[in-house]
Each structure stands twice: as structure tokens, then as C-alpha cells.
Structure 1
């Protein structure tokens, strides 16, 4: 990732969006091929292994199924795959509350931090161990589901109507977690023996969405932060040149008060000129106008229409004021130069903001 950041920095620094697109795509393709690690855990006897088999849509007696039984069967973390979730590693973890080990020891033993998402299996009751587990997961900022399994048993012994039983279970879990500050947990009520009923279909859909999100979310955030820093550094570095005697030469213009010339130069500086946008859009397989439409600096008229401060500084009254100031020795030149520097810095930031928006769209479009 460090080498990628260096290459993107050089490409953005040179205003070469086409190269940025290529590197972003290569990076996302590489990092997104890594599987998402999902841990299935809960109190011993809650049916984690049975749930895993149901999720993978295989029978308990089939080859490579997770072993199940009335006694504790999973002694060490065991990895399973599924053709239904091609980018997922499903880890069957030993149950919590086994032996005399504390939750802290349990988390250390299972290498808690290596998993991207947790599925916490519960049945009969939502124990204090599970409450602590949820809190530990939340502290790390990881995603988690609460899955109440063995629902078939709850419904077979019910006295109340089925809807009331389901509501009572759901509310009990929610209230238990709300007491310790866990708001709006994602809860699914399922039966491992009936994987087509209850919340199982919704669980599968949620899992597919989150797997896709996890695969791209981290890399996308890192790339976005990298690009944001590069653009900010570029703005800061260039702002130091504004107002200097060599500014016009650096910008490659003849008149620094001509906003049209300046806009063309700033577009070239950031690589968001029409030619660069056309090449980049073609590489992305999208029309250039889709990117140009999000720019607030499409032309001078668009800039002045959308920014009252620049519009005021460019009006006839302002021109008249500049002409008066030019006759005032020293003070007049100082004020004019101050306003000119402010105008260019403001103008620069408008184009930089457009560049950030375009890069953000490139990142988003790269994963669609």
C-alpha cells in the first residue's frame, strides 16, 4: 500500500488522472481478492456448528460439514468455505464459557482481532458472557449479528401465539443489550433445521451485502485518505507561491487577473482539464459529462455564479475600486495584492474541491 500511495502521489502531483485510475483499479483488484473472515461464536451448546452447516446449505453427515453433537465438539477454531459465499472464510470457534477461562483469555485464544465480522449464536437465554462479547466487539469497531437459533424448539413448546413468541425473544435481546449501551443490534431469529424460514433469507442477504462492503470499505477508505492528503498537500504547496514575483511563470499565464486564463491553468495543474477528463472517463467507460457535471469550476461563469465572494470581487464596482486603490501609494498596492492573493487561493480551493469530488467518484465507480 505504501508503494501505491507513492505512485498515486506522483500521478496526482503531475495531474495525470488516467494513471490514478489505473493504480486505483489495480489496488482494489488486489486487496478485494482477500477473503472476509467471519467468526461464529456463542455459549457452548447454542448450536454454532449446526448453524454453520445450515448457512452453507449442507447436511450434518455430508463431507466437510461442521461436527455437531450434544457435547462440545469444536475445540479449536476451524475454517469452512461455501460456494454460496465465495469470498468468505467462515470460522467455527470454540464456545465461550468452556472450562474456567475468562472472556479475556477466550478472546486472546481465538485471535479475536483477526476477524472482520462476528455472528453471535444464542439460544434459551442471552447470557452475560454474550453481553461482554458484544461489548468487546463493539469496542473494536467490528460488525456483528445476533442470531437466535433453535427457534423450532421455542415454537414447538409455545403457549403464546407465534408472533408474540418471536417478538418477546427479539425484545428481550434488544433490552438486555440496551442496558449496557448497545443500541439497535442486528438480530436474526432462525432455526438451523429450517434454513428457508423465519429470518434465514434476510440473514443471507445481509451477509452478502456486508461481505461485499467489507471487501472494499477498508481499501476504499485508505485510497480516499491517501488522495485527500495528496491534494491537500498540493494545495498548501502551491498557495505558498501565490503572490510571488514568479507566480505568473509558475502558473504559465500572462495575466494573473484574467480569471479565464487562471481557470485553464488550475484545471491543468490538477489534471481536471477537458482533455484529461475525456481520457479518464473513457478509461472508466463513462461519458465525460458525468464527471464534468459535478464540477463547480466548469467555466468562469459557473464559478462566479456559484461563489458570491468571487463574483463581488470581479464586478464593475470592484474594478472601479481597484483603479482608485492603484493611485494610493504603498497602501493601495498592498491592499490590491492582498485581495489578489485571497482571490487566487479561493479560486485554487474551488478547483481542488472539484478534484476531490472527481477522485471520490473514480473510487466509487471503480467498485461498481
Structure 2
């Protein structure tokens, strides 16, 4: 399965196939680069090893030591995903971190998709400044408080020792310092590099897995958005054909309007458009079965009419909504397509019909994107449970026309 296959399925209006491909792609995220950053001695390299399931002395493990051992940024593969990499960066404040490459912070940060800011003690202003810079670059990050096993070992000598209470105090202290330094809602994970099955290590892996899958989902939704916009533009270039047919011998005058149209031609055309975008009942039923959702829930996000809801009355109301706008549109159309435009320059019918169909196609493109968003919603959480909710937004291009022809408003 590939992103090109996903794009082709969206282009064909096969939303079931698109969802199926997306589900497979989410199991193997595309290129994603994670920067592990922190002060020298914070346990960055040991963290990278523990995350990858390696001991510090294993072959292929990151070099660790009592002094700064990471002189340059070194990349390591993710233990589960072939396209995901962890970058062990030189320690904050070391000469290598302050080299020419690292002084241009914006350019430097843009090279990574996600950040893990590691410290072995409390988080300080230097960490908060880095976090704010990451946020300014529209990137995400987690704070990792390593070596909590050492803190717990020291606390065990005290009377009334409680591991849960001690961990809570460490977490509260970290979050308080970060918030005081201006970091909003910091996510802090407490862990030991020597016990990767304890404390917050499992939750960190689970949360990062969710971030990877979410990033893949967002990428696919971006692809579907642009694919649908391209499809919309291509289809709008052909609306003059059904507009011409609707004004042919079978056309009838519409009561109260200075135009004529063949309702049967327009209804068949609009129903075909619904099918082309995968918004007919059969396609939606197949999609619902593929993603394990109710068909009614998918239909609930659709704002344009389904194929079965396209009636003479609805088409008439949409045309009524477009009268006047069609004249302006026809002027542009006659200029851009002079051969066809000149044939109808004296008829409001043609411009109105083209304008209505163009708006209908635009609405369908947005609806197809909404349906895909709804269908794939939560896919990144199916294999891993997490406490946070995902907020998916629909990307859509604003139409240049001055009105929006939502069928529920006519």
C-alpha cells in the first residue's frame, strides 16, 4: 500500500478503498524524525538505548559516559517503524550544540518533526526557552524526566515513604517550574533508563506511537484534501456540457424565472456527481462497514444532498438561489470560453445552471473530505489507548463565489 494508491482511490471516489489503504499505512508511518535533546549528562543517549531496547554496551547502542560523548547529531532507527528515526543531539550548552549549525535555531528545529527534551533534574529556564522556540516553529514535544529511580532511592530512607506520592511530587514540581517559565500545559514523563517497563516509560512509548499515527493520518488527510480540490477543479471545467443539454429541446420554462431547464438532465447529472465523489448510499454503506462505524454517522457530516434526495423541487430551489449570480458568472464564462460562451451570451439559463453545478461540485468535494475525516477518526487510537482526544479539522478551499449553496438552506 502506498500514498499514491490512497490518492488514486480518493480521485476515483472509492472511499472504502481509500480508508482501507489509510488503515494499512497507519500501521507503518512515513518518514518521521524525532530529536532527543537535553543537557550533557541528562541521560539522552541512555534513553535512546532504552527506547530501542538496547543495553549501553550492546552493538549499535548510542555511546554513553561520564563526560559528553555525543559530539555530533547521530541518528538511530526506531525499534518498530523503519521510517522513523531518533536523533541523539549534542548536549545543550556544549560547544558542539552552539556551533554555527545550531545557532540558526529556526532552521535547525525545522529539520525535525518532534522533540523529546530530557533532563535528569528539575527543568530549568534553558529547557523552557527551547520548548517555546519549538512551539513557535509549530512543532510538538514531550518533557522527559530521567533517572527518577535515583530520586526514589534517596526518598526510601525517609519515614512514611510512598513511591506514588514521590512520583506525584516530582511531576508537580517539574510542571510548576515549566509553567512558571511560560510553557503551557507541559507533558512530563517520569522514567528510568534502566527500567523501561516501569514508571512512565510504557506511557511515553504509547503516547509517541499515537503521535506517529496521528501525523500519518494528518498527512493522508492533507493528500485527500488536495486531491479532492484538483478533482473539483477538473469537474467544474466540464459543467458547461450538462448545462448545454439542460437548455436543449427538452427544456421547460421555470415558473417565475427567466430561464429554462431540463430537470431530468440536471437531476441525473447531480446524482452522477454524488457517485463520482463516493457520496451515494452504496459507497457510504461500504465505507461504514470498512471502518466499523454507523452509516448514519457518516451521513451526518454531509451538508449537500445525497443522490436519493435530489428531486425536481430541490434543483428548482438551487436554481432560484443562483439567479442573478449566473449572469455575472456567464460574463466570465463567455470571456474564458468564447466559442461556447458566445452561443449562450443572451440566455440567463446557461450561466445560472453552470454556476449552480459548480457550487454543487464544490460542496461535494468538501463533503467527501468531511466523510473521510469522520471515517478515519480515531484510527490512530485503535491499537493503542490514550487519555487524550484527537481534534481533526477539515481542510477546505474557500470558494470564490459570493454565496454558499448549502442545500439545507434553500
TM-score above 0.5, yes or no:
yes
Alpha-carbon distance between aligned partners in 1 of 2:243 and 2:319, rounded to the nearest angstrom = 24
How many residues align? The count is 331
Question: Aligned-pair distance for 1:157?
Answer: 1.4
Change (3 A) 1:286 1:191: closer
Greater fraction helix:
1
Residue 368 of structure 2: which of 358, 362, 366 is its match? 358
Residue 47 of structure 1: which of 40, 43, 46 is its match? 43
Question: Aligned-pair distance for 1:99?
Answer: 3.4
CA contact (8 A) 1:18 1:280 kept: no
Please give the secondary structure, in 2, of the residue aligned with 1:114: coil
Change (3 A) 1:355 1:96: same
CA contact (8 A) 2:148 2:190 kept: yes
Highest RCO, 1 vs 2 (Cα 8 Å, sep ≥ 6):
1
Question: Aligned-pair distance for 1:96?
Answer: 0.4
Counterparts in 2 of 1:252-331, with a 5 A limit?
A: 254-255=250-251, 257=261, 259-269=263-273, 271-272=275-276, 290=295, 293=299, 296-299=304-307, 301=309, 310=317
Residue 142 of structure 1: which of 123, 133, 139 is its match? 139
Change (3 A) 1:260 1:34: same
Counterparts in 2 of 1:91-106, with a 5 A limit?
A: 91-99=87-95, 102=98, 106=102
Change (3 A) 1:99 1:35: same
Alpha-carbon distance between aligned partners in 2 of 1:346 and 1:135, rounded to the nearest angstrom = 48
The answer for the alignment partner of 2:170 in structure 1 is: 169
Q: Which runs of 5+ in 2 are unaligned?
A: 252-259, 322-346, 380-410
Which range is displaced more, 149-158 or 263-272?
263-272
Please give the secondary structure, in 1, of the residue aligned with 2:91: coil
CA contact (8 A) 2:70 2:88 kept: yes
Deviations 1:266-289 (A, max 9, x none): 2335653889986898799959x9
The answer for the alignment partner of 1:189 in structure 2 is: 190
Change (3 A) 1:77 1:103: closer
Alpha-carbon distance between aligned partners in 2 of 1:252 and 1:278, rounded to the nearest angstrom = 32
Please give the secondary structure, in 2, of the residue aligned with 1:358: helix
The answer for the alignment partner of 1:321 in structure 2 is: none
1:153 paired with 2:163, answer no
Residue 73 of structure 2: which of 66, 74, 77 is its match? 77
The CA RMSD over aligned residues, in Å, is: 4.9
CA contact (8 A) 1:41 1:93 kept: yes
The answer for the alignment partner of 1:323 in structure 2 is: none
Alpha-carbon distance between aligned partners in 2 of 1:130 and 1:51, rounded to the nearest angstrom = 17
Deviations 1:59-98 (A, max 9, x none): 1121111121111111111112243444421111111011
Please give the secondary structure, in 2, of the residue aligned with 1:157: helix
Provide the TM-score with structure 2 as the length reference: 0.63
Deviations 1:289-319 (A, max 9, x none): 95994654224646799x8x939969xxxxx
CA contact (8 A) 2:49 2:61 kept: yes
Provide the TM-score with structure 1 as the length reference: 0.69
The answer for the alignment partner of 2:229 in structure 1 is: 229
Deviations 1:111-145 (A, max 9, x none): 43221111110121212221111111111111211
Which range is displaced more, 264-273 or 124-133?
264-273
Alpha-carbon distance between aligned partners in 2 of 1:348 and 1:116, rounded to the nearest angstrom = 38
The answer for the alignment partner of 2:58 in structure 1 is: 62
Residue 133 of structure 1: which of 130, 133, 136 is its match? 130
